[in-house]
Amino acid sequence: MITTDILQQLAKTHGTPLFVIDHEELLCNYEMFKKNLPRVQAYYAVKANPDPAIVKTLFNAGASFDVSSIAEFESVYENIKDLPEQEQHDWIWNNIIYANPIKAEETLQVLDKYQPLLTFDNSEEVVKMSQHAPNSRVVLRLRVSNAGAMVELSSKFGAAHEEALDLIFEAINAGLTVAGLSFHVGSQTTNFENYMQAINLAALIFKEVKARGYDQMNLLDIGGGFPAPYDESVKPFSELAKRINTELDRLISPDIKIIAEPGRFIAATAATAVSKIIGKAVRHGKLCYYIDDGVYHTFSGVIFDHCQYHFDAFKTGPTQICTVFGPTCDGLDVISMTEELPSNLERGDLLSSKNIGAYSAATSTYFNGFPPAKIIHVNR
């Protein structure tokens, strides 16, 4: 953990706002994932935090990658660009999945020569892939329950069970190699039953496809959604992993490769935001603090990720429930209306917010002329 003393020193040296990334925590989370799910190959979901230094650290640790745009693909490719062409091809073949089910034609044309795994979930995508990326291996994304997830995805992506066989054989008949199945139970899923139901559905479809004579499906992508420990209400990851391991061993053949797309789980606890109080007022009888970071910047997850971040003050004193506002002129820029903080904080005092590494700096803007927080990398 990055100590308060270190955060204060970084703020003194670099100013605020800061977004401090702890690379030791990244590696700890990655190793924890591998240890608890030994059969599963971890493909870091780059969208959770695409900082090139994060990608580099995980690449050096042996991670694979889930990308959803050409920019994310290129961020990963940067780490292998100096390898001989055949080694590049082999690495991409084994370590990248392009997990966006809907892809532009131009994207497919770029990807075709690299032959990564591509997900799909509808007939129109089969037509596009067969025309613009015929050399790719494809993975059918299934629609599964997202009940209890902080961010629901099943209304936007996924083929229903009754569509699955027809889509798989439509892709095969179009000349594509169908490598397997994928699903996503929703981001920050605390309902572990979603995984159990999804694995059971995947096992059933594997059997149905094999019964119809196709035996080249040898991959299952169990997606993301692995919950980060934002607070005590989140059950331990080890508990979820134990249940997933049991279902995989019970239902999925040992010759099927299992991959997953942890993003939030790896990145969330690996960053801390440091901000400075720039204003203080009492509004309608309630103490309000204004800081130099907000929902258009590091705290964008309040809006886009349905996430509530909390603050720690760098000095003590009697506390009360406060509102914390960001620096912009927009009334939407409200970080928290129920934050318990010391009432004696003044302009220039610092606040920190932990567990803010995922879906935060990734969606920062320059709205209202305020730049994103400066990113600082710490290797303890």
Q: What is the pLDDT of residues 40-96, one digit of tens each?
A: 999 999 999 999 999 999 999 999 999 999 999 999 999 999 999 999 999 999 999
Predicted local distance difference test score (pLDDT) of residue 237: 94
Are 167 and 123 spatial neighbours (Cβ–Cβ below 8 Å)? Answer: yes
List C-alpha distances in Å: 210 to 135, 182, 206, 297. 22, 17, 6, 49
| Same domain? 256 vs 274 | no
Q: Which residues form the domain of 127?
A: 24-268
pLDDT bracket for residue 251 (50, 70, 90):
very high
Phi then psi for residue 284, to 5 deg, are: 55, 40
Burial grade of 101 (CB within 10 A; 0-12, 13-18, 19 or more): buried
How far does Cα 328 stand from its chain's mean position? 27
Are 142 and 201 spatial neighbours (Cβ–Cβ below 8 Å)? Answer: yes
> Active-site residue 329, yes or no?
yes
Are 256 and 294 spatial neighbours (Cβ–Cβ below 8 Å)? Answer: no
Are 352 and 273 spatial neighbours (Cβ–Cβ below 8 Å)? Answer: yes
| Same domain? 62 vs 8 | no
| Domain boundary pick from 223, 252, 268 | 268
| Same domain? 176 vs 187 | yes
Q: What angle do CA 17, 23, 27 make, to 5 degrees?
A: 145
Taking the C-alpha atoms of residue 11 and residue 141, their distance in angstroms, rounded to an integer, is 44
Residues 259-290 have pLDDT tens digits of: 999 999 999 999 999 999 999 999 999 999 99
| Same domain? 370 vs 255 | no
Burial grade of 9 (CB within 10 A; 0-12, 13-18, 19 or more): exposed
Q: Is the peptide bond before 327 cis (omega within 30 degrees of 0)?
A: no
Sign for the pseudo-dihedral over CA of 303, 309, 315, 320: positive
| Same domain? 193 vs 166 | yes
Q: Against a cut of 0.85, is the pTM above it?
A: yes
CATH number of the domain that residue 89 is part of? 3.20.20.10
Q: Which residues contact 207 (CB under 8 A, 6 or more apart)?
A: none
200's tokens? 């059971």
List C-alpha distances in Å: 282 to 67, 286, 290, 313, 341. 45, 5, 11, 19, 14
pLDDT bracket for residue 156 (50, 70, 90):
confident
| Domain boundary pick from 208, 237, 268 | 268
Instruction: Please state whether beta strands 334-342 and 319-325 pair in parallel, antiparallel, or not at all (unpaired).
Output: antiparallel
377's tokens? 């990398």
| Same domain? 348 vs 223 | no
| Same domain? 232 vs 368 | no
State how many domains the chain has.
2
CATH number of the domain that residue 288 is part of? 2.40.37.10
Q: Is the peptide bond before 101 cis (omega within 30 degrees of 0)?
A: no
Instruction: Please state whether beta strands 177-183 and 117-120 pair in parallel, antiparallel, or not at all (unpaired).
Output: unpaired
| Same domain? 105 vs 211 | yes
β-strand partners of 98: 67, 118
Are 218 and 161 spatial neighbours (Cβ–Cβ below 8 Å)? Answer: no
Over 90: is that where the pLDDT of 188 sits?
A: no
The 10 Å Cβ neighbour count of residue 283 is: 9
370's tokens? 């305020």
Sign for the pseudo-dihedral over CA of 46, 48, 49, 54: negative
Over 60: is that where the pLDDT of 16 sits?
A: yes
pLDDT bracket for residue 167 (50, 70, 90):
very high
Over 70: is that where the pLDDT of 108 sits?
A: yes
| Domain boundary pick from 235, 268, 301 | 268
Are 89 and 297 spatial neighbours (Cβ–Cβ below 8 Å)? Answer: no
Q: Is 98 helix (H, G, I), strand (E, B) or coil?
A: strand
Residue type, 307: C
Predicted local distance difference test score (pLDDT) of residue 192: 85
Are 188 and 227 spatial neighbours (Cβ–Cβ below 8 Å)? Answer: yes
Q: Which letter does DSSP use for residue 78 in this model? A: T
| Same domain? 106 vs 196 | yes
| Same domain? 37 vs 128 | yes
Residues 34-51 have pLDDT tens digits of: 999 999 999 999 999 999
Predicted local distance difference test score (pLDDT) of residue 66: 98
Q: Which helix (H) or strand (E) holds 336?
A: strand 334-342
Burial grade of 224 (CB within 10 A; 0-12, 13-18, 19 or more): buried
| Same domain? 324 vs 204 | no
Name the catalytic one among 288, 307, 322, 329.
Answer: 329
Taking the C-alpha atoms of residue 257 and residue 211, their distance in angstroms, rounded to an integer, is 20
Residues 115-155 have pLDDT tens digits of: 889 999 999 999 999 999 999 999 999 998 677 556 656 77
| Same domain? 303 vs 244 | no
Residue type, 184: H
Are 293 and 17 spatial neighbours (Cβ–Cβ below 8 Å)? Answer: yes
